[in-house]
Structure 1
Amino acid sequence: MSEMKARDVGPAGIEVTYERLGDPADPPVLLIMGGGGQLIHWPDGFCRSLVSHRLHVIRFDNRDAGLSTHFHDAPVPDLPAVLSGDLSSVSYTLADMAADTVGLLDALGLESAHLVGASMGGMIAQTVAVEHPARVRSLTSMMSTTGDPKVGQPSPEALAALAGPPPVTREEVVEHTVKASRVLGSPGYPADEEAVRERAERAYDRAHDELGFLRQAVAVVASGDRTPRLRSLGVPTLVIHGADDVMCDVSGGRATAAAVPGAELAVFDGMGHNLPPALWPAMTDLVANLVRRAEGMN
């Protein structure tokens, strides 16, 4: 596995760092990570499980994350103001991130792909399916929501876990990530905290950008409710959610599945806002089955 960089991607002409796994002759599955996440936050074991189903996996860094282009010259995002309706500090929306995703497909010479998005990545995948339907063979939305503020909201304990002054040093960032994982993770599948720590250290060393995460966060808020447009989708769709997700309540997943005609909904008890290794086989089986149906392989 080796990372590569695509240049002049999409209308914004950004650089996107990506990694390809498996046989390029197999059906392409594009993994879209959530807010502040990098391609390394798609666990290697999860990716290998998909590859074992004879899928060609592509994972990448969104704009403002990892080693892709960061918008350092953009206005400082003001999340409280955006939440109150003042969008003056918003630099881009999910539609722009969806255009980046389509631009990456162009750079890779792919007319279309199966999209799998987690959290904000699920929102981006939904937006691609709505705005660029010809580029999407199937849609898997994981631990995500529709943008309707009445569903998929974080719990008070999730907000408390993320509250306080932002961590600054490497040690502070890593410790904050480990502590937050205890609240946001899966109560039915306790995390290996050493593995969480190691990934947090790797992510910090690879690229840490607190304002980049905030720029993504205000993009989510500014993009509004996708529900009416989701009702028009004709793409095979799978929705995966944890029953114990305190960061994005399961109502968000249920609303997504209800909005997309014919969508399949899989809710896992004990799963929070992460990807527990014990559930990788079940989740990747579901994705692979969706791909096979969409490809007419069943």
Structure 2
Amino acid sequence: MTQSLAGRERTVPSGDLTLWAEEFGDPEHPTVLLVMGAQAQGTQWNDGIVRRLVEGGRRVVRYDHRDTGQSSTVEYATRPYTVADMASDALAVLDAFEVERAHLVGASLGGIIAQRLAVTHPRRVLTLTSLSSQPLGTDTAALVQRALTGLPPLPGALPPPTPELLSTLATTLPGPESSLSDHIAARLPLWRVLHGPVLPFHEDEYRAMERRVHERARNLRAGINHTLAGAAREELTTGDLARVTAPTLVLHGTQDPMFPPAHAEATAAAIPRARLVMVEGMGHTLPAALDGRLAHEILRQTADADT
């Protein structure tokens, strides 16, 4: 039987907020900072990925964004924030662990945060891995709005999320006082669509993940604020990715319904010397069946830049 993964938890200050974080591996080893996506907790980075990275000689840190898990929640109406503020939270985590330079691995919105830091704080970034994400500066809200109103994408624009995903997103938000069983029942249809149609869907895996999310959350609905933060005006553009100097891996699923493969291609094209790896059959989730493949790619990406 696989032993449970033992991490070292701590609370990290970020301004007047506190962020939950967890560290694994030898503190003397190169650090990989795992940055999750919108409305997602740090523990949604699978233990299987973390274990493989540690076994590969990496110190791994994962954390809960503001408004998720055990981190502080914010009243967005009176205290709005942006993706830039969420990027500052990631730097606060690195500072708390006394990490001067780290390998950044960001999934979905976490990929945008990691890209942003590679532009604005290049000295803090050893390597960049943008996973299941899109180019910095993409106006996703505009893409979605056009799709919802039946308008085709503008010429040269990236494709919106699939119609099936947009329809499912509108109907799978659990109520504020949902029981655990109701919460899981509401979320499973979304995970089925995000997972994609090719790889086997193991319902028990997603049930266990949502059970842990439900148990850890201070406020399950606070993560909706990430959507508002992502829609706030971003002063950086995709063109700014030309300033990225960190070795970059763009890692993406061929069946991603949130950010179809053209988003990965555009990200890789915008970053000098970026390497694009498409994972056959993967959607917009990180199923345990892909732990080994994803960890292998991250270890390969971080190996040459170890310091």
Q: Specify if TM > 0.5.
A: yes
Residue aligning to 2:32: 29
Structure 2 unaligned regions, length at least 5: 1-5, 140-156
The alignment status of 1:96 with 2:85, answered yes or no, reads yes
CA distance in 1, matches of 2:105, 2:302: 11
CA distance in 1, matches of 2:255, 2:238: 23
Runs (4+) off by over 4 Å: none
Residue aligning to 2:13: 8
Residue aligning to 1:163: 170
CA distance in 1, matches of 2:216, 2:88: 24
CA distance in 1, matches of 2:171, 2:278: 31
CA distance in 2, matches of 1:7, 1:58: 12
CA distance in 2, matches of 1:124, 1:186: 24
CA distance in 2, matches of 1:172, 1:208: 17
CA distance in 1, matches of 2:220, 2:212: 15
Q: 2:204 aligns with which of 180, 188, 194?
A: 194
Q: Tell me which amino acid in the other structure corresponds to 1:36.
A: Q
Q: 2:138 aligns with which of 121, 143, 148?
A: 148
CA distance in 2, matches of 1:276, 1:148: 26
- Identify if the C-alpha distance between structure 1 residues 199 and 3 changes in structure 2 by more than 3 Å, giving closer, same or farther: farther
The alignment status of 1:174 with 2:174, answered yes or no, reads no
- The percentage of counterpart residues that share the same residue type is 37
Structure 1 unaligned regions, length at least 5: 77-89
Q: Tell me which amino acid in the other structure corresponds to 1:172.
A: D
TM-score (norm 2): 0.86
Q: Tell me which amino acid in the other structure corresponds to 2:93.
A: L
The alignment status of 1:236 with 2:243, answered yes or no, reads no
SS at match of 1:138: strand
CA contact (8 A) 2:12 2:18 kept: yes
CA distance in 2, matches of 1:210, 1:189: 28
The alignment status of 1:263 with 2:274, answered yes or no, reads yes
TM-score (norm 1): 0.89
SS at match of 1:183: helix
1:187 CA drift (Å): 2.4
**Within-5 A mapping of 1:1-298:** 1-2=6-7, 4-9=9-14, 12-71=15-74, 73-75=75-77, 91-146=80-135, 147-149=137-139, 150-151=157-158, 153-164=160-171, 166-168=173-175, 169-170=178-179, 171-207=181-217, 209-224=219-234, 226-295=237-306
1:4 CA drift (Å): 2.3
CA RMSD after TM alignment? 1.8
1:132 CA drift (Å): 1.1
SS at match of 1:218: helix
1:195 CA drift (Å): 1.6
Q: Tell me which amino acid in the other structure corresponds to 1:142.
A: L
CA distance in 1, matches of 2:117, 2:16: 18
The Cα offsets for residues 179-216 of structure 1, whole Å up to 9 and x where unpaired, read as 11111103222221012111101111110635422211
